[in-house]
Amino acid sequence: MNKFVPITLVLVVGGIFVYPYFDTANTFKSRVQIENQEAENFSASVAQKDLSEDDFKGLLSVQSDNFFFDDSGNVKYNNTTHIETPDSVRAVYMTSWVAGRKDLRKNIHEQIKNNPSINAVVIDIKDDTGKISFLVNHPLIRELESSENRIPDIREFIEELHKDNIYVIGRIAVFQDPHLIKKWPEEAVKTKSDPQKNWVDRKGIGWMNASSEKVWDYANTIAEESYKVGFDEINFDYIRFPSDGNMQDILYTIDEGKTKQDTLEEFFKYTQDRLKPQGIIISADIFGMTAVNTDDLGIGQVLEKTLPYFDYVSPMVYPSHFPKGWAGIDNPAAEPYLVIQKSMGKAVERTKAMGENPEKLRPWLQDFDLGADYTPELVEAQITATYDVGLDSWLMWDPRNTYTVEAFKEKQN
């Protein structure tokens, strides 16, 4: 039986948007059948009949043989497949811009395919621009005009990765969302000096209120739709309160008697309760200092209040992000083994103390130059430290997506 790998498409037909459904049918009509009008009991709807010849050719050229029309003329797709989470996840990060270019993503795909030290990839679903990187069939997302079709063949790409047994994680930036602020300004963080004015951080970027249930619903809707596309795991990033900017003039909307960490914990529970019954694997990115600090760092993140709600938690323990003199280390960026060993060692200790499995921990590691030139030796030192504290998994970050793969290694038993 042929496997059809679907992607998403939007057509404008006589002023009406015709969106595909992520559904499964027992039978389907192939492109050839549609073109030749050979499908039995074929009854096109008004929407399908209104497709112009050019629109229909466009549909065919983009979709190939992975869509079909049901008996009512609705565009539908076949089942999406997922692969199980590896016991040890060793992943690299890929931007949506790279994922959308076959010539650019090919190198990373080949590196993972040909290197047993890597078996997964993290791809942006929604980055800190607030734009979703592929077209999504959901009325809320259509209403908010959130989709930007950076990866037009997302389903086909994920299927290619799956064929090579590559685990695909989708990253969603949640509360930093400049696009959503334009659509829902009433849900944004405001200034104390002018409660009608949106607060911005030192980069001039606004934030959504972490207590907004509308934003919670939106993030989870994106997660559900992305899982249907084929992502094996949904990773939540920017799940915090702002950390920089004019903090004296910031106005949050937090229920009386609750703290920042209480607010985030409610969001985490909401996400768990909504996504886990659907069988969706979920993970969270948190500041690296949460591995050692027991307070919420002023951003609401506490390790013990995050671990119970996610399948995996990833402290971003980039050595360059630790302050000068931390743990007696003059330049943490230049001592990556010590930073990872001390921070993740403490995280493992705290995880065990609360009765959670430390294998839920997957640190984000550094493969970029900041604070030091990151040679293969410095990259490898982080991986070694991760293994030495008893962990098996890690995620590697380079915003340029150029990786020092010769430094990557599997854990030796």
Stretch among 54-63, 102-111, 286-295 having the lowest mean pLDDT: 54-63
The count of domains in the chain is: 2
Q: Rounded to the nearest 5 degrees, what angle is found at the Cα of 402, between the Cα atoms of 373 and 161?
A: 145
Average pLDDT over residues 394-408: 96
pLDDT at 69: 57
Confidence at 78, pLDDT banded by 50, 70, 90: low
Determine phi and psi for 240, rounding to 5 degrees.
-160, 175
User: Is the distance from CB of 191 to CB of 257 less than 8 angstroms?
Assistant: no
Confidence at 77, pLDDT banded by 50, 70, 90: low
Which tens digit of pLDDT belongs to each residue from 102-127? 999 999 999 999 999 999 999 999 99
Q: What is the CATH number of the domain that holds 148?
A: 3.20.20.80
Instruction: Decide if 250 is inside a domain.
Output: yes
Going from the C-alpha of 214 to that of each of 28, 115, 186, 226, 305, the distances in angstroms are: 37, 42, 11, 18, 22
Q: Is the pLDDT of residue 63 over 70?
A: no
Instruction: Decide if 5 is inside a domain.
Output: no
Confidence at 75, pLDDT banded by 50, 70, 90: low
User: Is the distance from CB of 273 to CB of 163 less than 8 angstroms?
Assistant: no
Q: Is the pLDDT of residue 49 over 60?
A: no
Q: In terms of domains, do 181 and 251 share one?
A: yes
Q: Is the pLDDT of residue 40 over 70?
A: no
Q: In terms of domains, do 50 and 172 share one?
A: no
Going from the C-alpha of 81 to that of each of 49, 159, 412, the distances in angstroms are: 31, 8, 31
User: Is the distance from CB of 172 to CB of 222 less than 8 angstroms?
Assistant: yes
Confidence at 57, pLDDT banded by 50, 70, 90: very low
> Cα–Cα distance between 136 and 146 in angstroms, integer?
9
Stretch among 68-72, 96-100, 110-114 having the lowest mean pLDDT: 68-72
Q: In terms of domains, do 26 and 167 share one?
A: no
Q: Is the pLDDT of residue 89 over 90?
A: yes
What is the domain range of residue 60?
11-77
pLDDT at 256: 81
Higher per-residue confidence, 222 vs 42: 222
Q: In terms of domains, do 166 and 263 share one?
A: yes
Q: Is the pLDDT of residue 73 over 80?
A: no
